[in-house]
C-alpha cells in the first residue's frame, strides 16, 4: 500500500505502475487498432498554466491567515491542485494547451482559519475550491472561475487529527484532511476501523469521502460513507454549521444530508464524527465462478436480500471476467467462461466460518464453483486499477469508467441500455470499444453497475469521450438509473443532475447555496449550475 504524494500526471505512486501484459498490448493493437503511444510531458515544468489573476490585497490577507509557509503559488503546487484524476483531466494535462489552475494554495490548520479565508474571498469575490486528496473523476476541482477575481484552493491536509474517540457510542471525531490509510492507522491503534475502502482509499481523504458520498468495496457489510457520518462541522461564507446532535432525530430535515454529496459547493467540512467498529480479527475473501451474468445477478441479490450477507460482494460480467480485470495478477490471461464473484467475510473466526459456509451453499445452489486464490488475488490488487488506466492511456487507448445505480427490477435493462448506447456511439465514431462491467455495490433494493470502456483514441479524445458519455447519460436516465452512484456530480454530470432531479430540485439546491454562500464563491459551477443560482435570484 502506497502513501506517497499523488502523481501530478497520473494515478498514485509512479513506482507502483506496472507495464501492460503482452496479451493486453496485442488486444489494443489487433482488436482496437491502437498503435500510437500518447505523448506524456517529461516533467511537471512542461505543463502550461493560465496566468495568476489574484490581486495583492486578497493574496496578502489570505497568506496572513495561514502563515507564509502555508501559502503557495509556485508552478508545482498550482499544477498539483489544478485537476483531478479523470481521463479528461489527464488528457488536459497532456494536450500542451494552457490549463486553468488555482492562483494560490492555502493549507489552514483550523476551522477558524478556514472561516477567515472564506471571509476574505467573499469580500474580494474570489472563487474557492476545497481540496482533499485530489482524486475527483468528475471534474470536481475545476470551477467556473470566469467573472471572479481569482481562484484559491483550500488544501485541508493539515486538518488531520483524531480529535476524540467515544468508545461508549463507538464514534470517532476526525479531521477531514486524513487520508484513508492514516485514519485507519490512528483507529487501529485503539482497536477500531471505519471499514471504508474505495479504490481511491490510499489517496482520498475523509472530507472528500463525505463531500462526494463515497462508497467503499466493503459497503455490503459496513455501508456507504454517508451511512457512517454521524456529525459534521462545516465552515461556510455565512458562518458555521455544527450538525448531528444524535444518531437520528425528528427535528426537521436532517441537515447533515445537505453537506453529504455537496462537493464543496455549500461549505468546507472541517470535522467529521464517524461511526466506527471494532477491527475484525479475521478476514477471508473467496472467488466464485457463476455460469452467466443473469444467474450471477440473481445470486448476489439473494445474498443481500435474504442472507447471509457478506462484507464484500461484487460480480464481474463475462467480458470483465474473461479479460481478468477483477484479478490483477491474471490480467489478460483469459478465463474459463462465466462470471467471477468476489465474496468477502470479516469478523471473529467463528462468525466468518458460519457466514462463509452458509453463503457457499447459496452460491453452489446457483451453479457457482469456487475459484482458487481469486479472492485473495483481488484483495491484494484492489487499489491497482487506476494504474492500468494510465498505462492504457500511455499506449494510445482511450479508457474511462462510468457508474450508475438502479433498483433490482431495472438492473439488467440498465446494463443492456448503457452497453448498447456506448458501443453504438463509439462505433459510429470509428472506434469500436471493449466494454466491461461489474456490480460494485449491492443493496436489498438495488445495485450499482461500474463500466470500463476502452477504444482507440481519435485526434480529439476529450470530445470523443464526451460524446460517448452523453449517449451513456441519456441511456441511464431513460432506463431509470441515476447518473452517479459514488463518483459524484462535479462538472461532468451537471446536465444529467438537472434532468434527474428536475428544475424545482435544482432551484432548491440553488436556494440553499444562496443562503450559505450568497456571493457564490464556493466551487462555482460544480454540482449547482450557475444558471440555477441566477434563475433563483
pLDDT tens-place string over residues 246-303: 999 999 999 999 999 999 999 999 999 999 999 999 999 999 999 999 999 999 999 9
Report CA torsion sign: 361, 367, 369, 375: negative
38 has pLDDT over 90? no
Report CA torsion sign: 21, 415, 475, 86: negative
Q: What's the rounded mean pLDDT across residues 159-171?
A: 98
Candidate from 18-32, 239-253, 306-320, 447-461 with smallest mean pLDDT: 18-32
Top CATH class of 38-155 equals alpha beta
Q: What's the rounded mean pLDDT across residues 193-222?
A: 97
User: In the prediction, which pLDDT does 15 show?
Assistant: 86
DSSP 363-385: HHHTT-EEETTHHHHHHHTTT-H
pLDDT band at 334 (very low <50, low <70, confident <90, very high): low
Mean pLDDT of the chain: 94
User: In the prediction, which pLDDT does 529 show?
Assistant: 72
Backbone angles phi, psi at 463, to 5 degrees: -65, -35
User: In the prediction, which pLDDT does 40 show?
Assistant: 85
CB 198 within 8 A of CB 209: yes
pLDDT band at 534 (very low <50, low <70, confident <90, very high): very low
Residue ranges per structural domain of the chain? 38-155, 162-245+253-278, 282-380, 385-478, 494-536
220 has pLDDT over 90? yes
Backbone angles phi, psi at 118, to 5 degrees: -65, -35
User: In the prediction, which pLDDT does 537 show?
Assistant: 39
Domain 282-380: which CATH number of 3.40.50.2300, 3.30.70.3450, 3.40.50.970, 2.70.98.30 = 3.30.70.3450
329 has pLDDT over 80? no
Calpha distance 453→419 (Å, rounded): 9
Calpha distance 492→416 (Å, rounded): 22
Calpha distance 467→83 (Å, rounded): 21
Q: 20: Cβ–Cβ under 8 A, 6 or more apart, which residues?
A: 28, 388, 391, 392, 395
473 has pLDDT over 80? yes
CB 196 within 8 A of CB 216: yes
User: In the prediction, which pLDDT does 536 show?
Assistant: 40
Backbone angles phi, psi at 482, to 5 degrees: -95, 150
22 has pLDDT over 50? yes
Q: Which neighbouring-strand residues pair with 455?
A: 398
Q: Burial-class residue 14 by CB neighbours within 10 Å (0-12, 13-18, 19+).
A: middle
Calpha distance 283→306 (Å, rounded): 22
Q: 372-421 pLDDT, tens per residue? A: 999 999 999 999 999 999 999 999 999 999 999 999 999 999 999 999 99
Query: In terms of CATH architecture, what is 385-478?
Result: 2-Layer Sandwich (3.30)
pLDDT band at 27 (very low <50, low <70, confident <90, very high): confident
Calpha distance 13→1 (Å, rounded): 10
Q: Nine-digit cell at 472?
A: 451513456
Does an H or E element contain 78, and which?
helix 75-80
User: In the prediction, which pLDDT does 14 show?
Assistant: 86
533 has pLDDT over 70? no
162-245+253-278: CATH number: 3.30.465.10
User: In the prediction, which pLDDT does 328 show?
Assistant: 66
Q: What's the rounded mean pLDDT across residues 313-330?
A: 86
Calpha distance 227→274 (Å, rounded): 9
Q: 346-355 pLDDT, tens per residue? A: 999 999 999 9
User: In the prediction, which pLDDT does 532 show?
Assistant: 45
User: In the prediction, which pLDDT does 18 show?
Assistant: 82
pLDDT band at 332 (very low <50, low <70, confident <90, very high): low
Q: Give the per-residue SS3 of 132-181.
A: CCCCCCCCCCCCCCCCCCCEEEEECCCCCCEEEEECCCCEEEECCCCEHH
Q: What's the rounded mean pLDDT across residues 366-371?
A: 97
172 has pLDDT over 60? yes
Q: 82-139 pLDDT, tens per residue? A: 999 999 999 999 888 999 999 999 999 999 999 999 999 999 999 999 999 999 999 9
Does an H or E element contain 80, and which?
helix 75-80
User: In the prediction, which pLDDT does 331 show?
Assistant: 75
User: In the prediction, which pLDDT does 335 show?
Assistant: 67
CB 186 within 8 A of CB 192: no
Q: Verify cis geometry, omega within 30 degrees of 0, for the bond prior to 308.
A: yes
Calpha distance 416→266 (Å, rounded): 36
Amino acid at each position: 500500500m502506497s502513501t506517497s504524494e499523488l502523481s501530478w500526471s497520473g494515478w498514485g505512486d509512479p513506482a507502483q505502475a506496472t507495464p501492460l501484459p503482452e496479451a493486453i498490448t496485442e488486444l489494443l493493437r489487433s482488436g482496437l487498432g491502437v498503435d500510437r503511444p500518447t505523448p506524456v510531458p517529461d516533467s511537471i515544468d512542461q505543463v502550461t498554466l493560465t496566468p495568476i489573476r489574484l490581486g495583492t490585497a486578497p493574496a496578502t490577507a489570505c497568506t496572513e491567515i495561514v502563515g507564509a509557509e502555508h501559502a503557495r503559488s509556485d508552478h508545482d503546487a498550482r499544477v498539483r491542485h489544478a485537476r483531478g484524476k479523470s481521463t479528461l483531466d489527464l488528457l488536459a494535462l497532456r494536450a500542451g494547451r494552457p490549463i486553468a489552475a488555482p492562483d494560490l494554495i492555502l493549507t489552514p490548520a483550523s476551522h477558524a482559519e478556514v472561516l477567515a479565508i472564506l471571509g476574505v474571498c467573499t469580500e474580494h469575490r474570489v472563487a474557492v475550491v476545497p481540496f482533499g486528496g485530489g482524486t475527483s473523476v468528475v471534474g470536481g476541482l475545476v470551477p467556473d472561475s470566469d467573472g471572479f477575481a481569482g481562484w484559491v484552493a483550500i488544501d485541508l491536509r493539515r486538518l488531520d487529527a483524531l480529535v476524540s474517540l467515544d468508545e461508549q457510542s463507538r464514534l470517532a471525531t476526525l479531521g477531514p484532511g486524513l487520508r484513508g490509510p492514516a485514519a485507519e492507522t490512528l483507529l487501529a491503534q485503539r482497536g477500531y476501523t471505519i471499514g471504508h475502502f474505495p479504490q481511491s482509499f490510499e489517496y482520498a481523504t475523509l472530507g472528500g469521502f463525505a463531500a462526494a458520498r463515497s462508497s467503499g468495496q466493503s459497503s455490503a457489510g459496513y455501508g456507504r460513507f454517508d451511512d457512517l457520518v454521524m456529525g459534521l462541522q462545516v465552515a461556510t461564507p455565512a458562518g458555521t454549521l455544527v450538525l448531528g446532535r444524535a444518531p437520528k432525530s425528528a427535528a426537521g430535515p436532517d441537515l447533515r444530508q445537505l453537506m453529504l454529496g455537496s462537493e464543496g459547493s455549500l461549505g468546507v467540512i472541517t470535522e467529521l464524527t464517524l461511526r466506527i467498529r471494532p477491527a475484525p480479527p479475521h478476514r477471508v475473501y473467496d472467488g466464485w465462478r457463476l455460469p452467466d451474468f443473469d444467474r450471477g445477478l440473481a445470486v448476489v441479490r439473494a445474498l443481500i436480500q435474504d442472507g447471509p450477507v457478506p462484507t464484500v460482494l461484487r460480480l464481474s460480467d463475462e467480458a470483465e471476467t474473461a479479460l481478468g480485470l477483477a484479478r490483477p495478477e491474471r490480467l489478460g490471461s483469459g478465463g474459463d467462461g462465466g462470471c467471477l464473484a468476489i465474496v468477502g467475510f470479516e469478523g471473529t473466526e467463528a462468525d466468518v466460518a458460519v457466514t462463509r459456509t452458509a453463503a457457499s451453499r447459496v452460491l453452489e445452489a446457483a451453479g457457482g464453483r469456487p475459484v482458487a486464490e481469486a479472492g485473495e488475488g483481488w484483495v491484494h490488487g484492489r487499489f491497482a486499477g487506476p494504474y492500468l488506466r494510465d498505462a492504457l492511456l500511455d499506449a494510445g487507448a482511450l479508457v474511462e469508467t462510468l457508474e450508475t445505480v438502479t433498483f433490482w427490477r431495472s438492473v439488467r435493462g440498465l446494463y443492456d441500455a448503457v452497453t448498447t448506447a456506448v458501443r453504438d456511439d463509439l462505433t459510429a465514431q470509428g472506434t469500436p470499444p471493449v466494454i466491461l462491467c461489474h456490480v460494485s455495490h449491492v443493496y436489498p433494493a438495488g445495485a450499482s453497475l461500474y463500466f470500463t470502456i476502452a477504444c482507440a483514441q481519435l485526434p480529439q479524445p476529450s470530445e470523443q469521450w464526451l460524446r460517448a458519455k452523453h449517449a451513456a447519460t441519456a441511456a441511464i436516465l431513460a432506463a431509470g438509473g441515476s447518473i452517479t452512484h459514488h463518483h459524484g456530480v462535479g462538472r461532468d454530470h451537471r446536465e444529467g443532475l438537472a434532468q434527474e432531479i428536475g428544475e424545482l430540485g435544482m432551484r432548491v439546491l440553488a436556494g440553499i447555496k444562496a443562503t450559505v454562500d450568497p456571493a457564490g464563491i464556493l466551487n462555482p459551477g460544480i454540482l449547482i449550475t450557475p444558471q440555477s443560482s441566477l434563475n433563483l435570484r
